[in-house]
A and B are shown apart, each in its own frame.
Chain A
Amino acid sequence: MKGLLREHKVYGTVEKDGFPAFAEIFEVDDLKLSETPTHLSAKEFLFPQREVLLKFNMRTSTHVPVIEAEKQVLIGLHPCDIKGMGLMDRVFSHGVSDPNYLARREQTIVVGTDCVPDEYCFCSSLGTDKVEDGFDIFLHRISRGFLVRTSTDRGAELLSRLADSREPTVRELKELEERGAQRERAFKAKINGAPEDLPAIYAKSDESPVWEKIGAICYGCGACNNVCPTCYCFDVKDEVRPNLVEGERVRTWDGCTLEDFAKVAGEHNFRKSRAERLRHRFNRKFRYLAGTFDSLFCVGCGRCSRTCLVKINIVDVTNELIRESHRR
C-alpha cells in the first residue's frame, strides 16, 4: 500500500459521515475497505462529473482538444462496480471511440475487493456477483489478511513488487469458500426471473400500469442516474472564463429522468411525463442496450433504489413486470 501511494494517485473507500465513499487516499490508514456499497459508484474516476473536452479562444476562434489522464489506482471496487466499469469500457470504445474515457481507463489500475450485500444489493440475481476479469488485483478478505487474485500482467507485476505473498493454505481456501456461501445466503433482494428473460419481459411492458404508479411519486431529481455505475449520458456546454476570451467545452453528467432531457426545438418534449422518463431509464438498463452490447446494463448494485428519495425500487419494479408477464 505504501508503495502504491508513492507511485500513483490512489482513490479508495473511506468512511465519510458514517457512510462508505470513494475519496483520495493519502495515507494507508485512510483506506477503509468497505463491505457494503458506496452510495456513489466509482464511475467518476473514469468519466468525471465535469470533464474538459476542448479549450477554446474566442478572440482567435480556435480550439485545442484536451485528453486528461494520469496514472491512478482505484481500490475497493466490488464485483458489481467492476462489471459496471467493463460495460462503460464497451460503451466508450463502441463505434466512434471516446479518447477521453479510454485514455483514463488505460492509466487506471483496479483493485477489487469482496463485499457483503445490504438490503438493496441484487447482483446475485443478475450473475454479476463474481468477477473473473476487469480488475488488475482482487482482494478476498479472510480472518488473517487477504487472499489475492490477479487478472492482468500489470496486476501480477505490482503484487510481486509491492507485497509479500505466498500460496494460500488449504484452510485459507476453505475459509474463502465458507465466506462465499455465507454471502450468497445474505442476499435479501432478488429478481424473480432469469436475467436473460428480462429484455423480453421489458419489451412487453410498455403499457404496464407500473410506469404511471412510479411516475406519480418520482421527483425527477436524477439521483438514480448520478449514482448508477452504467449511466453514461451527458450534456455538452461551453464555459467562458471571466476574461471573456478563453474557455472550455465541457461535458457533464446528464440524466434521462430529468425533464428537459428529450426536449427538442419548439419546446416539444418526446418524454414529457415522469412515467415515460422512468420507463426509458429502466428499459435502457434491461432492454434497449442489450441489443447492442448483448448484456443487461444493470449490474445489481442497488444504488438507484438505495438513493431514491421516494423509494422507487428497481427490484420491486422488475418483479412486478415479471408478475404481469406471467398473468398475460
Chain B
Amino acid sequence: MDSPYLPFLGMVERSMRLSEKERFFAVVPSSEALLAYRPGQFFMVGLPGYGEAPISITSAPGDTRIELCVRAVGNLTNALHKLRKGDRMWLRGPFGRGFATNEMEGRDIVFVAGGIGIVPMRSLVKAVLAERERFGRLTLIYGARTPEEMLFTEEMDNWRRRGLDVQLTVDKAEARWKGNTGVVTTLIPKVSIKEKETLGVIIGPPVMYRFVILSLKALGLGAEDIYMSLERRMKCGVGKCGHCQINSVYVCQCGPVFKLSELGGLPEAI
C-alpha cells in the first residue's frame, strides 16, 4: 500500500522575495497529479529535517507550475525561505475542498482579503479573471497592516484592466500612502451591490471573519452567498490527526472553503 505520508518532489523554478516576511515560489512538480487543484486548496509542503506545514496555493488551475507564498514564522518556513532556483521542496496534496467557481458563475463577487489571505485569494481571482465573461461585477477589498506588507500589488493594475475593481487599505499609513486607512470593513459599505446577485468571499486572519460577515450581511448578502476559507493547522491532510477539526468536521477534508450557511452546527468555526 502506498503511504499517504510520502511527499512528491517539486523543483523550485523561481524563488522571489515579496516582502520582509513573505517569499514566492514557482515549483515544477514531479507528478502531473499535483497540478489538478482548485483555488482554495492547499499542499502540505515539507523539507526533510524541518517537517511539513499546510501552505496555500496562489496560482490558478491550468498553470503548469504550482505557485506558493510562504510567510517565515518558524523553522520550516525559514528553511523554505532559503530555497533558490533548482532546489528541491516536497509536496503532498492538493488537499481539501476549494472554491467551486462554476457555482459562482453569473454573480457579482466581492472578494475580501486580509493579510496573507491574499495568497489563496489570488488563486481564486486569477481563476475568475481567466473566465471574466462568466461573472458579473468583481470587487477586491484587500487590507494589510502596512503598505510594505501588501502582496501582489504589481499585478493589480493588470487585474484592474481585466475588470476587477481593486480597493486597498492599510491599518497603519505613512506619508506616501495615498489609499484608504483602516480595517477592511471600512471599505465594504462603500461597495454598491445588487441584492441576491452578489457573492462575498472572505480569506484572512481569524479575527477578521466575524466583522466582515456582519458588514457583508449589512449589504444584504445571505448565509448562502458568503464563502470563506478557514485556517487550521493541519498535520496529516488526510482526516486523521485531528488538529484541523472544527466540531464534527475535518477542515482538511470538508474545508478549508465553506459557505457561511454550512457553519450553522459549527460554533468553533470562526
Measuring CB to CB, which residues of chain A are less than 8 angstroms from any residue of chain B? 53-54, 56-58, 61-63, 65, 67, 91-92, 94-100, 102-103, 206, 232-238, 240, 247, 249, 251, 254, 256, 261-266, 268, 270-271, 276, 280, 283-284, 287-289, 291-292
Q: In the bound complex, how far is the Cα of B250 from the Cα of A284, in angstroms?
A: 12
The answer to whether B3 touches A54, judged by C-beta atoms less than 8 angstroms apart, is yes
Q: In the bound complex, how far is the Cα of B265 from the Cα of A291, in angstroms?
A: 13
Least CB distance from B130 to A in Å reads: 29
Among residues of B, the one whose C-beta sits closest to the C-beta of A96 is: B238
The answer to whether B1 touches A254, judged by C-beta atoms less than 8 angstroms apart, is no
Least CB distance from B245 to A in Å reads: 8
Contact with A along B30-73 (1 / 0, CB 8 A): 00000000000000000111111000000000000000000101
Interface of B (DSSP majority class): loop
The answer to whether A232 touches B205, judged by C-beta atoms less than 8 angstroms apart, is no
Given A234-B236, A264-B233: A61 touches B5 (CB 8 Å cut-off): no
CB neighbours (8 Å) of B267 from chain A are: 206
CB contact between A247 and one of B1, B49, B236, B268 (< 8 Å): that residue = B49
CB neighbours (8 Å) of A99 from chain B are: 1-4
The answer to whether A58 touches B240, judged by C-beta atoms less than 8 angstroms apart, is no
CB contact between B48 and one of A58, A271, A292 (< 8 Å): that residue = A58
Among residues of A, the one whose C-beta sits closest to the C-beta of B8 is: A63
CB contact between A283 and one of B49, B88, B247 (< 8 Å): that residue = B247
Interface of A (DSSP majority class): mixed
The answer to whether A102 touches B48, judged by C-beta atoms less than 8 angstroms apart, is no
The answer to whether A237 touches B48, judged by C-beta atoms less than 8 angstroms apart, is no
Q: In the bound complex, how far is the Cα of B90 from the Cα of A102, in angstroms?
A: 25
Q: In the bound complex, how far is the Cα of B67 from the Cα of A115, in angstroms?
A: 58
Least CB distance from B145 to A in Å reads: 12
CB neighbours (8 Å) of B241 from chain A are: 233-236, 251, 254
CB neighbours (8 Å) of A271 from chain B are: 268
Q: In the bound complex, how far is the Cα of B52 from the Cα of A292, in angstroms?
A: 27
Given A91-B240, A96-B239, A234-B241: A63 touches B268 (CB 8 Å cut-off): no
Contact with A along B1-42 (1 / 0, CB 8 A): 111111100000000000000000000000000000000000
The answer to whether B242 touches A233, judged by C-beta atoms less than 8 angstroms apart, is yes
In chain B, residues 223-270, which have Cβ atoms closer than 8 Å to a Cβ of chain A? 231-233, 235-236, 238-243, 245-248, 253, 267-268
Decide if B206 is an interface residue (CB 8 Å cutoff): yes
In chain B, residues 88-143, which have Cβ atoms closer than 8 Å to a Cβ of chain A? 88, 90
The answer to whether B233 touches A265, judged by C-beta atoms less than 8 angstroms apart, is yes
Is the interface on chain B under 10, 10 to 19, 20 to 34, or 35 or more residues?
Answer: 35 or more
Q: In the bound complex, how far is the Cα of B79 from the Cα of A240, in angstroms?
A: 15
The answer to whether A238 touches B206, judged by C-beta atoms less than 8 angstroms apart, is no
Among residues of A, the one whose C-beta sits closest to the C-beta of B7 is: A63
The answer to whether A95 touches B48, judged by C-beta atoms less than 8 angstroms apart, is no
Given A234-B235, A249-B51, A270-B206: A53 touches B3 (CB 8 Å cut-off): yes
CB neighbours (8 Å) of B175 from chain A are: none
Apart from A99-B1, A236-B241: 19 A-B pairs, beta carbons within 8 A: A56-B48, A58-B48, A63-B90, A65-B2, A67-B1, A96-B240, A97-B1, A97-B4, A206-B267, A232-B242, A235-B243, A236-B52, A247-B48, A247-B49, A254-B241, A270-B246, A283-B247, A283-B248, A288-B245
CB neighbours (8 Å) of B4 from chain A are: 96-99
Q: In the bound complex, how far is the Cα of B88 from the Cα of A298, in angstroms?
A: 44
Among residues of A, the one whose C-beta sits closest to the C-beta of B235 is: A236
Q: In the bound complex, how far is the Cα of B205 from the Cα of A270, in angstroms?
A: 12
Q: In the bound complex, how far is the Cα of B231 from the Cα of A103, in angstroms?
A: 33
CB neighbours (8 Å) of B90 from chain A are: 61, 63
Q: In the bound complex, how far is the Cα of B236 from the Cα of A76, in angstroms?
A: 32
CB neighbours (8 Å) of A65 from chain B are: 2-3, 5-6
Among residues of B, the one whose C-beta sits closest to the C-beta of A62 is: B48
Give the 3 A-B residue pairs with the shortest CB-CB distance, closest first: A233-B242, A56-B48, A65-B3
Q: In the bound complex, how far is the Cα of B233 from the Cα of A264, in angstroms?
A: 5
Q: In the bound complex, how far is the Cα of B236 from the Cα of A264, in angstroms?
A: 15
Least CB distance from A45 to B in Å reads: 18
Given A57-B48, A58-B48: A291 touches B248 (CB 8 Å cut-off): yes
Among residues of A, the one whose C-beta sits closest to the C-beta of B49 is: A58
Among residues of A, the one whose C-beta sits closest to the C-beta of B71 is: A265
CB neighbours (8 Å) of A94 from chain B are: 239
Least CB distance from A86 to B in Å reads: 17
CB neighbours (8 Å) of A270 from chain B are: 206, 232, 246, 268
CB neighbours (8 Å) of A238 from chain B are: 48-51
Among residues of A, the one whose C-beta sits closest to the C-beta of B50 is: A238
Given A61-B47, A96-B4, A98-B4: A264 touches B206 (CB 8 Å cut-off): yes
CB neighbours (8 Å) of A268 from chain B are: 205-207
Least CB distance from B82 to A in Å reads: 13
Given A63-B7, A265-B73: A232 touches B240 (CB 8 Å cut-off): yes
CB neighbours (8 Å) of B235 from chain A are: 234-236, 254
Q: In the bound complex, how far is the Cα of B235 from the Cα of A53, in angstroms?
A: 13
Q: In the bound complex, how far is the Cα of B48 from the Cα of A160, in angstroms?
A: 49
Least CB distance from A63 to B in Å reads: 6
CB neighbours (8 Å) of A53 from chain B are: 3, 5
CB neighbours (8 Å) of B246 from chain A are: 270
Least CB distance from B90 to A in Å reads: 7
Least CB distance from B151 to A in Å reads: 15
Least CB distance from A283 to B in Å reads: 7
Q: In the bound complex, how far is the Cα of B5 from the Cα of A56, in angstroms?
A: 12
Given A61-B48, A288-B247: A98 touches B2 (CB 8 Å cut-off): no
